[in-house]
Amino acid sequence: MFRLYTQKQTRESQRALHKAWDQGMLTPLAFNPPVLKWKPPQPNLVAAELLSREPPPPPRNDRVTDQLDEPAYDTRAQLYQDVSFFHTFDAQNLIQAGNAYEVARFITAGNQTGFVKLCWTYMEIRTGGSGDIVEIDPRDPFGLQENFPPGVNLRWFLRLEQGNFQREIPAPNVLPFAQVGGYGFAPLNQWNDYRFQWGRTQSKVFWLVPQYHALRLYVQSGITTNEITRIGGRLMGWTQPIDVRVTGWNVSHGWS
């Protein structure tokens, strides 16, 4: 229950409090910090000077027509990438034992995440007697081993190499296997079957490539032979900026 004080009682209480303060019986109320003298904080001149020297951030390009006018400048854009290399061999140019032939390369520049969604490998071989090209059964992943003569051992391998890679694709490398740069790609380091056949729909993959990296597909023969007439490969996918929400969705759920 609230008690109502009269004006007379309020003045008497006020006089009693002032008398107690004057006699030192009570400490007067104080505000900490002093509210009546408070002023807003002033800017730090040193910090303002340092910030003024910093270059302004690049403006975002989020206009409605970005995808039509210039998709590459859109921070949400997915930049398509499709790279294939081929090597042809004949009687004067045999595939060499121990050499690693690069047949595809997928690159990711800075502030980009790479998504490889398709891997194809291509191989032409001929029989030792007639010299005809062998048609390998597209349904048989072990068709290479079954059609190769004894002693011919071919293997494919992936290497993830770090560097300052730009969008330009230089010529493929041919170098000794032991001097191939980078390190083995964890999801699939190497294989010797024909699982990623050219033109087959079951060759879809989901490989992530970090920024400033190149995913390189090589093929290497165990011996020098004239049975192999042509080799090739293909890596297809896209890159997109790291600091956008849809990149996280694509990393978690694949092709969206």
Among 53, 74, 47, 48, residue whose Cα is nearest residue 63 = 74
3-state secondary structure of 147: helix
Residue range 46-105, pLDDT digits in tens: 888 888 888 876 665 556 665 556 555 555 677 889 999 999 888 788 888 888 999 999
**Contact indicator for 224, 154 with CB cutoff of 8 Å:** no
Instruction: Measure the CA–CA gap between 71 and 61, rounded to whole angstroms.
Output: 10
Digits of tens for pLDDT over the chain (256 positions)? 445 567 788 888 888 888 888 887 777 666 566 666 777 778 788 888 888 888 876 665 556 665 556 555 555 677 889 999 999 888 788 888 888 999 999 999 888 889 999 999 988 877 655 567 776 776 777 777 777 766 677 889 999 998 877 777 778 888 888 788 888 888 888 888 888 888 877 788 999 999 889 999 999 887 777 778 888 999 999 988 887 666 776 777 665 4
Instruction: Measure the CA–CA gap between 223 and 46, rounded to whole angstroms.
Output: 69
Which DSSP string corresponds to 106-117? EEE-TTEEEEEE
135, 138, 144, 147: CA torsion to nearest 10: -40
3-state secondary structure of 247: helix
Cβ–Cβ contacts within 10 Å for residue 216, how many? Answer: 27
β-pair partners for 105: 216
Return the residue matching tokens 């006699």.
23
Output the six-digit token pair for 53: 């020297």
DSSP H or E stretch at residue 223: none
β-pair partners for 241: 112
Instruction: Measure the CA–CA gap between 73 and 247, rounded to whole angstroms.
Output: 16
Instruction: Measure the CA–CA gap between 1 and 9, rounded to whole angstroms.
Output: 18
In the chain, domain spans = 77-253
**Contact indicator for 230, 123 with CB cutoff of 8 Å:** yes
**Contact indicator for 95, 228 with CB cutoff of 8 Å:** yes
Instruction: Measure the CA–CA gap between 79 and 70, rounded to whole angstroms.
Output: 11
pLDDT of residue 214: 93
Residue type at position 113: T
